[in-house]
Structure 1
């Protein structure tokens, strides 16, 4: 089937709706937020809850970008092992970031409960799956490093991994019980609705043309109107486009596609991820596996199904499904979609100063849910109080990366080649 980027599974299964209007007048606020994803909605909710006048403007619709196309894993930490993060950032800065992100899933699930967000929240942990013996060695090292820092990780053997996943394809797994899964678009929509209830103005269909700073205030122009603010947060991440006056986020772009079946038969549903854990594996071109509340099996990987490699990626998904669950070979893919990941060179998020009390935050490298929630709330506090130390990482005056376009092409080429040859055709 040909994918339609506007009709992901999450779009089809999100019951929540938000009533907004495009910006249609000049307004003045304490904080202007550009971008309606996890970071922007989290910041708007937190700032409005603290009594600030807040306006969130989104070029398309809430969670239109990567937030609404996410796998839905609320993980603690980043892709990188803890010791690598501390080596890159320094021990003090690295520990500060790791501590903030370790608490990220708890903050997500606390917000879901406090705000009554209906988003299929399942807090049964996540499984990092060893796709090969080398992958299991990597997980053993991550287990050692995580437990040394107090993370309650558990290393599962092959038999327990097969029991939890319903698949014999893995050599073991690393269980993080702090984490879980959500319906990502519904979670983001819930944050936006909570921001509205707290008093924030939310304007969809409001692309910002320019951002300028003069005389101690920011001015954003959008839809022919002016939005004046004491502070501004640009949270466009991998979907930044057409915004003049501030530096565009510098990062490579990784396309990530997902393929969902219809709800599985009860016999299969009782065996395939019966605990509802979200999973991803240790392969260089990683695979994610999860189920939603209705029992759909969702397999994802790097690759752009809106690009030239669409047929290769779609064929890979069918073969991968059969390799993981041989009895489900031939199960139809009901829905497919893709999103864009902002991948920084060191795989660490960036907070860049764009001027007085102005930040651009980007680069979660595929870990948007919990980090975006944490960074959004921290950014609201930091901007309103002019206190950059409230952020989990130091603010940078600038961030530049070379060859981002070439890296983007390289990632897609690598994923396409990998999907063309692996897994080998079944039968």
Structure 2
């Protein structure tokens, strides 16, 4: 039996000391959610002299920020033209420009705040698991490379060499991609926020938000915080504190395993350049190393346990499919975390009432884009105009039939896996459109 346990929690540096709310407090801004988004928002606000308080219902980094794969994948699934059609040319241009610098901005932040988070910017391989998927990646490459992204095509031979696997015959290489230890990054941001003057409180669940005169008041079990502005950054762990916010996302699940440290001989044949990889499956496979040469391998799960509905079995099957040379390697632990997924796989920046903001829905692009969102939320509080922000600011619009869709989420991972298998089988039997190596 593979033990359950969040690998990042056991290898991250110690967290900064945080207080608990035990009285009634005041602040200029109160941020609900002490993950990457909330903490990056707090850093910018505190550096600008804003009296900033951050609350979390659990410990710092309890949610997605301490459970993700830690991969910095710095482009959207949508093309620039898709973004223009959705948001309009001016808004899309701001988002595209910010997207192109998002990875460098993240790694610059890590250096600026001296965050010890095992950061490596070695590139990201986006691998096609079928010929149809390869065609889609070719279109994505053409679109984003045309917009200025540093993306190149890997041929069959280059893909095999870069991945250390014959499971994929085509891939894109995103030079700006990389990875971090996500809990270490979160704790590092927490320390940076404190150093700038922000106050951080753990185990302080926000139970009620209400307007009292010109202030917003957040009630916790043992005290309250009154502030001019409230920012909600709870993402996939959002509850019903603000009506409708939870219903703007579906809670998908990422499940992962950590292997034992690979030997030098194994590392020479598995992601030898220490790049990250993710593929085009619906139940996506992804992998990267940690600082001690363990391979972190993940896919889509069904709930907060990696074991549910055969989750660990899918992980092991995926690991052995992509890296058969690791079929006998020891697995040290498995874990799961939620991902806030929107209908169009794009984040949302909401302003549901004057003095209330929210930034959620990163849909698997959180390592790079939570920092973008955090800086954007802070800029908005500091007086930035909506027309200067990379994300459009909107009112809350719940996903139709959200309750029904949420109940179906546990079945989505095995269903997507079945569709992926069918796609691979069809890819093997259908006639190839070209005799050339892709």
State the partner residue of 1:36.
Answer: 34
Distance 1:136 1:347, change over 3 A: same
Find 2:295's aligned residue among 294, 297, 317: 297
Q: Which runs of 4+ in 1 moved over 4 A?
A: 244-247, 305-309, 418-424
Residue 86 of structure 2 aligns to a residue whose secondary structure is helix
CA contact (8 A) 2:57 2:206 kept: yes
Q: Does 1:320 align with 2:338?
A: no
Superposed CA offset, 1:329-361 (max 9, x none): 132321111111111111111111132121111
Superposed CA offset, 1:230-263 (max 9, x none): 1110001110125257844521111111111111
State the partner residue of 1:352.
Answer: 350
Q: Does 1:163 align with 2:176?
A: no
CA contact (8 A) 1:31 1:231 kept: yes
CA contact (8 A) 2:232 2:357 kept: yes
Find 2:369's aligned residue among 368, 371, 384: 371
Q: Which runs of 5+ in 1 are unaligned?
A: none
State the partner residue of 1:188.
Answer: 186
Distance 1:69 1:413, change over 3 A: same
The alpha carbon displacement at 1:398 in A equals: 2.3
Distance 1:348 1:73 in 2: 17
Q: Does 1:398 align with 2:389?
A: no
Distance 1:246 1:222, change over 3 A: farther
Distance 1:55 1:249, change over 3 A: farther
Superposed CA offset, 1:10-67 (max 9, x none): 1111023210111122221111100011110000011001111100001101111111
Of 148-157 and 212-221, deviating more is 212-221
CA contact (8 A) 1:31 1:384 kept: no
State the partner residue of 1:280.
Answer: 278
Residue 103 of structure 1 aligns to a residue whose secondary structure is helix
Distance 1:279 1:255 in 2: 18
Residue 207 of structure 2 aligns to a residue whose secondary structure is strand
Distance 1:247 1:414 in 2: 22
The alpha carbon displacement at 1:203 in A equals: 0.4
Distance 2:404 2:77 in 1: 22
Distance 1:131 1:245, change over 3 A: closer
Distance 1:316 1:330, change over 3 A: farther
Q: Which runs of 5+ in 2 are unaligned?
A: 423-438
State the partner residue of 1:362.
Answer: 360
Distance 2:419 2:37 in 1: 37
Of 376-385 and 302-311, deviating more is 302-311
What is the number of residues matched between the two proteins? 422
State the partner residue of 2:51.
Answer: 53
State the partner residue of 1:414.
Answer: 412
Of 91-100 and 291-300, deviating more is 91-100
Distance 1:396 1:242, change over 3 A: closer
TM-score w.r.t. length of structure 1: 0.93
Distance 2:3 2:375 in 1: 34
State the partner residue of 1:383.
Answer: 381
Residue 48 of structure 1 aligns to a residue whose secondary structure is helix
1:202-351 map, 5 Å: 202-243=200-241, 247-304=245-302, 306=304, 310=308, 312-351=310-349
Distance 1:205 1:86, change over 3 A: same
State the partner residue of 2:111.
Answer: 113
CA contact (8 A) 2:281 2:420 kept: no
Distance 2:249 2:419 in 1: 28
The alpha carbon displacement at 1:300 in A equals: 0.9
Distance 1:165 1:362, change over 3 A: same
The alpha carbon displacement at 1:157 in A equals: 0.8
Distance 1:369 1:150 in 2: 21
CA contact (8 A) 1:233 1:360 kept: yes
CA contact (8 A) 1:255 1:339 kept: yes
